[in-house]
């Protein structure tokens, strides 16, 4: 099943498995002959019954210098990301990260991010010639909930970061591409880092905090120091300076440098419930948390005071309908109490394709699902193999772990203040 669905270039509803490309690594057989793992497995009978194994190109490892930067990066994205990020794989993003997909058909380069820009100015999913403006690179670098890939690792891969950065920098800019001057910004960062040894401890801390105050700046500094043995200790220094920062980008990008005993413990996810409910919040700051890209990303699914997306429940009037404790319950356990309208539907088609989302329409001819993003998925009833209504919310759990305790208190204060209904 896994081999046949991989050959079709689609993700089936079956468990994740290998693809022919991953098994095309050349190895030495028992008789000393050079052949691929595919050939060996076929000869040994492991692939019997699946038909003739097709010849396939070998994937390029990140360290394989005989391949181009593009080949290495596209192979890495294929192996680590394309199990979800390809058509009909059940993921909510529209991008296609399979290696065989042409660059201009990936729905990636030059595209506007639909699931948040993490505060990056001038952001795109991938901005040609501007790595620090590319959300893809930020997600690979982050240690927080928005990090990708989610499977197989708990920390970012420095080698992958370096190669993806190089690939984006080498992508040709088009006439329509608007980017900041990354070369000028990088030169400024390098000059600032070179000055550090001449500064007092206070001046040094102020300069470093200033360099990573924005998402773009924090990502640029991280990428600059991670490839240098000499500069790498700065990662720990910046992590310690920003562990309590309100700057999500600096906190999330440099968290991997923190010693175990200094890992951020002021997050809302680590607070006991009563302390969080008793914490004093600020409505204006909470409004900013609600509308902020990255972090909890509330506006990707909810609308309040005329701002946000109408996918989940509108939140105008929630402060009149629920107590502060009940609002916190909904955030911490979104699937605990959920109306049927907001249950997650999973539909498998006769071709083995999987679609997930909220049910928007169901007739004798079609079923329509909605997910994050602008498009709805229309599935003809004749093509449906099975339908599974999951007793869970589209809203992810543990959202508070992405917020500081103060951010969480501010968000609760804001939501509790929403007593008017239908405000625009």
Beta carbons of 278 and 324 less than 8 angstroms apart: no
pLDDT at 175: 57
Query: CA 250 to CA 229: how far, in whole Å?
Result: 20
pLDDT at 4: 38
Q: Is the pLDDT of residue 2 over 90?
A: no
pTM, to two decimals? 0.70
Mean pLDDT of 163-190: 80
The chain-wide mean pLDDT, for the chain, equals 81
What CATH number should be reported for the domain whose range is 340-393? 2.30.30.100
34 phi/psi in degrees, rounded to 5: -85, 125
Q: Is the pLDDT of residue 255 over 90?
A: no
Beta carbons of 198 and 147 less than 8 angstroms apart: no
Q: Is the pLDDT of residue 10 over 50?
A: no
Confidence of residue 51 (pLDDT cuts 50, 70, 90): low
Yes or no: domain 270-334+398-417 corresponds to CATH 1.10.760.10: yes
pLDDT at 6: 37
Q: Where in the chain is the domain with CATH 2.30.30.100?
A: 340-393
What percentage of the chain carries pLDDT values higher than 90? Answer: 34
Q: Where in the chain is the domain with CATH 1.10.760.10?
A: 270-334+398-417
pLDDT at 404: 73
49 Cβ contact partners less than 8 Å away, ≥ 6 residues apart: none
Give tens-digit pLDDT for 193-242.
999 999 999 999 999 999 999 999 999 999 999 888 899 899 999 999 98
Confidence of residue 53 (pLDDT cuts 50, 70, 90): low
Label residue 125 exposed, middle or buried (CB < 10 Å: 0-12, 13-18, 19+).
buried
Give tens-digit pLDDT for 139-171.
999 887 677 887 777 789 999 999 999 999 999
């Amino acid at each position: 099943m896994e081999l046949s669905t991989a050959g079709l270039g689609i993700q089936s509803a079956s468990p994740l498995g290998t693809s022919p490309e991953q098994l095309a690594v050349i190895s030495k057989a028992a008789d000393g002959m050079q052949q691929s793992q595919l050939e060996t497995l076929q000869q040994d009978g492991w692939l019997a019954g699946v038909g003739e194994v097709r010849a396939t190109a070998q994937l390029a490892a990140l360290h394989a210098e005989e391949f181009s930067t593009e080949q290495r990066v596209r192979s890495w994205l294929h192996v680590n990301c394309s199990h979800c990020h390809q058509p009909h794989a059940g993921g909510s993003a529209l991008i296609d990260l399979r290696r065989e997909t042409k660059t201009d058909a990936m729905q990636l380069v030059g595209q506007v991010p639909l699931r948040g820009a993490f505060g990056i100015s001038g952001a795109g999913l991938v901005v040609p010639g501007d790595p620090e403006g590319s959300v893809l690179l930020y997600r690979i670098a982050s240690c927080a909930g928005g990090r990708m890939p989610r499977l197989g690792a708990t920390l970012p891969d420095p080698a992958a970061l370096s190669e993806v950065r190089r690939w984006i920098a080498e992508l040709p800019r088009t006439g329509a591409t608007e980017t900041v001057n990354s070369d000028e910004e990088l030169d400024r960062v390098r000059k600032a880092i070179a000055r550090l040894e001449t500064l007092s401890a206070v001046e040094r801390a102020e300069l470093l905090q200033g360099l990573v105050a924005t998402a773009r700046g924090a990502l640029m500094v991280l990428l600059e120091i991670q490839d240098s043995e000499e500069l790498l200790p700065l990662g720990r220094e910046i992590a310690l300076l920003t562990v309590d920062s309100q700057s999500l980008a600096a906190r999330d990008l440099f968290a991997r440098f923190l010693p175990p005993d200094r890992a951020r413990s002021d997050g809302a996810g680590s607070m006991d419930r009563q302390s969080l409910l008793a914490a004093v919040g600020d409505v204006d700051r909470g409004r900013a948390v609600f509308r902020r890209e990255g972090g909890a990303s509330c506006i990707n699914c909810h609308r309040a005071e005329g701002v946000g997306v109408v996918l989940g429940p509108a939140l105008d009037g929630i402060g009149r309908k629920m107590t502060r404790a009940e609002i916190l319950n909904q955030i911490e356990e979104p699937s605990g109490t959920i109306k049927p309208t907001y249950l997650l539907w999973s539909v498998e088609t006769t071709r083995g394709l999987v679609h997930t989302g909220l049910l928007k329409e169901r007739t004798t001819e079609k079923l329509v699902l909605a997910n994050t993003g602008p498009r709805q998925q229309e599935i003809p009833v004749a093509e449906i193999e099975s339908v599974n209504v999951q007793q869970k919310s589209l809203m992810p759990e543990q959202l508070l772990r992405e917020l500081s305790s103060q951010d969480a208190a501010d968000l609760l204060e804001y939501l509790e203040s929403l007593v008017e209904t239908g405000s625009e």
